[in-house]
Chains A and B, each alone.
Chain A
Amino acid sequence: MRAFSAIVTREVALALRGGGDVLTLVLFFIITGAIVPFAVGPDKALLATIAPGIIWIAAFLAMLLGLDRLFRPDHEDGTLILLRHADLPLSAIIAAKVIAHWLLTALPLILASPILAVLLAMDLSSFWRMLLSLLLGTPALAAFGAIGAAVTVAIRRGGLIAPILIAPLSMPVLIFGTGAISATQSNAALLFLAALSLMAIALAPFAAALAISSAED
């Protein structure tokens, strides 16, 4: 458990010390959302209806953008090989990295989402529900992202392929995520979202570990 938390702290410390990566992602998230009114026009009623979808898409894109730093730096400087020989199993290490990844990409986005909610004229009740759906759904996105990053880590220019692989797999998350915000059946969607996140977090580290260890040897 100490090794597990050490890896989480290491990832967080590296990202926070390494400059504005986290802030860049948040900026990307907000700009993506803020572009939409320019594209569809400043009609407040229209914006309010499509706001949940826009915020989910912005969060989804921002998380895809951050995928490449999950394993690639460690692969390039050889840390990944060392981690494979650690006492802690590789899947546990990957679980720790997924948690750190969620803390570094999803949590800042969720904290920044009120800004977008104001810009897109969301009302308070749907904002709370969106916040809840983001909290429940982004772990699944992080877990799926870990599989994509692990599969492409051995490819030199794999950064472009991982989003293509992950996007179709993440479709249920988006469906239930935006479904949770619409008025009907929102509770069922939230429960499905939570189930999806739990399942993805439980299984993805094993799949990612398998992919990494078969890509390395």
Chain B
Amino acid sequence: MTIQTTPKQSWWSRIAHPGQFVARTRPLLWPLTILTALLFVVGLWFALFNSPQDYQMGDTVRIMYVHVPTARLSQFVYAVMAVSALGSLVWRHPMADVAMKAAAPPGATFTALALFTGSLWGRPTRGTFWEWDGRMTSTPVLLFIYLGIIALWRAFDDQLRAARVIAVFTLVGAVNIPIIKFSVDWWSTLHQPASVFRADGPRMPGSILTPLFVMFFAFTFLFPVLHLKAMHTEVSRRRVMALERQAAQGAKS
């Protein structure tokens, strides 16, 4: 039985300590992983075996179960990054830096997956891999922004300094993305009528909606798993770098 002498801190400042953060979130990792795996098993079973073919698109409709969740996540992950950037700039929260850095590669991957599956889906159903349609055009722009941010992270030697600079850029991007989206929509309606997407949108039968929802949740839980693991890895990497620096200083003196 130890006596508590330090003042009680809020969970917010407690997890500011990287070691505390890892210790607190590591127990979450395995349950989340198992839940994600279960959701994927159920979702893929529904998506591949227990859902009907579309009467027009045939089996290719199953691409949707990967395409829609990843496309949603590509925007959601950027929102996570923007909130972390705010946390990093306003509160100088150390874990916000790490969260921002760890979110960029999964975000880029989800965006690339959404583009890839989208073009695979577009080939048999619309007869083309790529069309300069409004909704599609803003997705590669988002991918370019993700890749630029990753390149920026890799270019800096000092990761602590990098975090604040990249936070500024992430927020600039967050302001800009709606403008890009709007301008692209305006541009594509100028160039061609918005007739590419078939209007079978929300009127989907439940047999298709069930796998879609399960896959959606599976991907939504996949992101925190990847994100937490990447954050833990980043914390360890920084610890190793700090130890190396200490060792180098010790050898010098």
Interface residues, chain A, CB within 8 Å of chain B? 147, 151-152, 154-155, 157-158, 161, 164-165, 167-169, 171-172, 175-176, 179, 182, 184-185, 192, 196, 203, 207, 210-211, 214-215
Contacts and interface: CB of A to CB of B under 8 A. Distances in A.
Given A185-B190, A192-B183, A215 B161 contact: yes
B172 interface: yes
Contacts, number: 84
Nearest to A182: B190
B183 A171 contact: yes
B144 A151 contact: no
A172 B155 contact: no
Contacts of B190: 179, 182, 184-185
B176 A158 contact: no
Chain B interface size range = 20 to 34
Nearest to A215: B165
A152 B161 contact: no
A211 B152 contact: no
A214 B155 contact: no
B105 interface: no
Interface string B171-195: 1110110011011101100100000
A152 B164 contact: no
A210 B161 contact: no
A155 B187 contact: no
Contact of B183 (A154, A176, A211): A176
Interface string B156-167: 100001001111
Given A175-B183, A184-B190, A215 B164 contact: yes
Contacts of B184: 171-172, 175
A161 B164 contact: no
A75 B149 CA distance: 22
B148 A155 contact: no
B145 interface: yes
Nearest to B182: A172
B3 interface: no
B80 interface: no
A167 B186 CA distance: 19
Nearest to A178: B187
Nearest to B137: A171
B169 interface: yes
Contacts of A176: 183
A169 to B, nearest CB: 5
